[in-house]
Amino acid sequence: MPLQPPEISRRHLLSMIGKTAGGGLMYQAMASLGHAQESSYRGPLELGRAKRGGKVVILGAGLAGMTAAYELRAAGYDVQILEYQGRAGGRSWSLRGGDSFTELDGTRQTCEFDKGLYINPGPWRVPYHHYALLDYCKRFGVQLEPFMQVNFNALVHSTRAFGGKPQRFRHVQSDTRGYVAELLAKAANSHALDQAVTQDDLALLMEDLKAWGGLDAQYRYREGHAASEYRGYDSDPAGGLMPLAKPSKPIALQDLLRSRLWSQINIGQLYEFQTAIFEPVGGMDMIAKGFERQVGSLVHYHRKVTRIEQSPQGVTVSWVDANQGGDGGAVQQVKADWCVCTIPLSILSQIDIQVGDPMKAAIAAVPYGASFKVGLQFKRRFWEEDERIFGGISYTDLPIEQISYPSNNYNTTGPAVLLGGYAFDNTHAFEFTAMKPEDRVRAAVEFGAQLHPQYRQEFQNGVSVGWHRIPWINGCFGIWSDESRKQHYKNLCAVDGRIVLAGEHASYIPAWQEGAVLSALDAVKRLHEHAQAAA
């Protein structure tokens, strides 16, 4: 199998920064990479009523496009949306049994999941600080449930440590914290911290270290009750005349350090993944359906945009029927006063769009990240029944990188689907995407069996999405560097004549639905100001 050990990813880099330099520097690094941006949303947009009606054509019925349509219609504009696909939502997408889709080379997959089961190939989480998206979910009646990001009983795994045997997340986390606490306590007792900690505060620090690290009375991290209260017991406390609880034995410090498993336990500490995190009940596309209930009558499906022209008087969008294949048949046109374009830049860069050179350069300057996901259906929820893993994520250095267990329908019988592999913006993402869909599924099962031997016996079917092979986006999300943002970002977001762009690519929260929504809110506000000035 051609897949190689992982190269360092941005998330691994951020995790390493957090471990070695502290949270403040990690947050700076996250911000420079486009992560950790708190939503700027402070309440519903109030555009005010337009002085006179105007026509707006919106290109794309993803969350950005539908947000723009909802707000502009409320302000009195005549709005229509042109959408390439036969559904709304864009990357806010869920795959269920019977769903089919075609990749760039014509390969067609049909999902075979049992009724009620699904996988989210695009976004799959909604952090608590994505205020705009949460507000729209509330207003549109989209029910949410908790998403289990961190499960202390999930697994962390390295092919190069402990003979390839997975370890419990809680063991690695508790032992890492315990040894750090012990070392810091030794440093404090040897007066190495005298310049940093006053004598009055030293006693408080020692008390804190003892509690935080699960240290014994001598400030040691050892097998015993204190450590087992964090890492768990080999034999849990019981009842009646059952055997007494048996403390568990920590992993030796040297083995823990050399395993590098500590690099897998910190993602849940990053701001964008801190609880509470949510998911829509029934699949991520429930959010898209919530928007669609509001503006679905405005959407015209199977419209493949081929040209976007503008003049001082208005905008003309040419399109063909995406259902007809080839050249799509006769070219048709939509004329409007204004245009909000939410087409991903990976596609927009291939379309003849009549904007100024600064915006054209910005459109061409943003590459799209690679990503793949594999959904696997199994006969039973063996991760719950056999291993007591209820939700959460297991991490591995294998090319699948992570296994996410469903955060719903706990403790039920019958088939279930888990996320059997997910990588983005690294070698594994490109390598999996280059494989045939059935080979991606097969590889995910083989790799996953190294964490869960039950895979081979319990597997039923699977589906996979390699985002660079999806025709309507050719990638996963827009990737900005510090330099490209400095040079092109404002030009990308500017109102160019009668055209403005929106989408997650026009935000500081790339790859998140919140970025798409905030971008749309900002774009329509500025477009409305232009329209009122021209009225």
pLDDT tens digits, one per residue of 83-100:
999 999 999 999 999 999
Contacts of 101 (CB under 8 A, 6+ apart): 95, 108, 109, 465, 470
The residue-averaged pLDDT of 376-396 equals 98
Q: For the chain, what is the domain count?
A: 3
Domain end marker among 476, 496, 511: 476
pLDDT of residue 243: 86
E strand segments, 103-187: 108-110, 118-119, 126-127, 144-146, 155-157, 167-168
Contacts of 401 (CB under 8 A, 6+ apart): 6, 395, 421, 422, 423, 428
pLDDT of residue 327: 74
The crossing angle, in degrees rounded to 10, of helices 131-139 and 285-295 is 60
CA proximity to 487, closest of 364, 369, 362:
362
390 and 446 inside one domain: yes
Percent of the chain with pLDDT over 70: 93
pLDDT digits (tens, 9 = 90+) for 47-72: 888 877 799 999 999 999 999 999 99
151 and 268 inside one domain: yes
pLDDT digits (tens, 9 = 90+) for 470-481: 999 999 999 999
Q: Is residue 131 part of a domain?
A: no
Q: Determine the structural domain holding residue 420 and report its residue range.
A: 1-33+144-161+260-280+369-476
Q: Is residue 139 part of a domain?
A: no
Contact 315, 309 (CB under 8 A): yes
pLDDT of residue 37: 52
pLDDT of residue 244: 87
Please, what is the average pLDDT of the chain? 92
Tell me the two tokens of residue 440. 């991606």
Percent of the chain with pLDDT over 90: 83
305 and 268 inside one domain: no
468 and 489 inside one domain: no
423 and 497 inside one domain: no
417 and 525 inside one domain: no
309 and 421 inside one domain: no
pLDDT digits (tens, 9 = 90+) for 405-429: 999 999 999 999 999 999 988 999 9
Residue type, 532: Q
pLDDT digits (tens, 9 = 90+) for 110-156: 999 999 999 999 999 999 999 999 999 999 999 999 999 999 999 99
- What CATH code is carried by the domain that includes residue 52? 3.50.50.60
Q: Is residue 118 part of a domain?
A: no
246 and 315 inside one domain: no
Q: Is residue 11 part of a domain?
A: yes
Band of residue 38 on the pLDDT scale cut at 50, 70, 90: low
pLDDT of residue 22: 35
pLDDT of 210 > 60? The answer is: yes
pLDDT of residue 204: 94
- What CATH code is carried by the domain that includes residue 419? 3.90.660.10
470 and 385 inside one domain: yes
In angstroms, the CA 334 to CA 317 distance is 5
pLDDT of 516 > 90? The answer is: yes
pLDDT digits (tens, 9 = 90+) for 350-364: 999 999 999 999 999
Residue type, 485: R
395 and 523 inside one domain: no
Q: Is residue 403 part of a domain?
A: yes
pLDDT of 229 > 50? The answer is: yes
Q: Is residue 111 part of a domain?
A: no
pLDDT of residue 36: 45
227 and 303 inside one domain: no
Q: Is residue 380 part of a domain?
A: yes
* Greater model confidence, 45 or 438: 438
pLDDT of 6 > 50? The answer is: no
pLDDT of 345 > 80? The answer is: yes
Q: Is residue 324 part of a domain?
A: yes
The residue-averaged pLDDT of 322-331 equals 83
373 and 472 inside one domain: yes
The residue-averaged pLDDT of 323-352 equals 93
The residue-averaged pLDDT of 387-393 equals 98
pLDDT of residue 195: 85
pLDDT digits (tens, 9 = 90+) for 191-207: 888 888 888 899 999 99
The residue-averaged pLDDT of 325-329 equals 75
pLDDT of residue 30: 44
Band of residue 502 on the pLDDT scale cut at 50, 70, 90: very high
- What CATH code is carried by the domain that includes residue 213? 1.20.1440.240
Tell me the two tokens of residue 147. 């998403």
pLDDT of residue 3: 56
3-state secondary structure of 280: strand
Contacts of 99 (CB under 8 A, 6+ apart): 110, 111
* Greater model confidence, 349 or 193: 349
pLDDT of residue 534: 83
The residue-averaged pLDDT of 259-279 equals 93
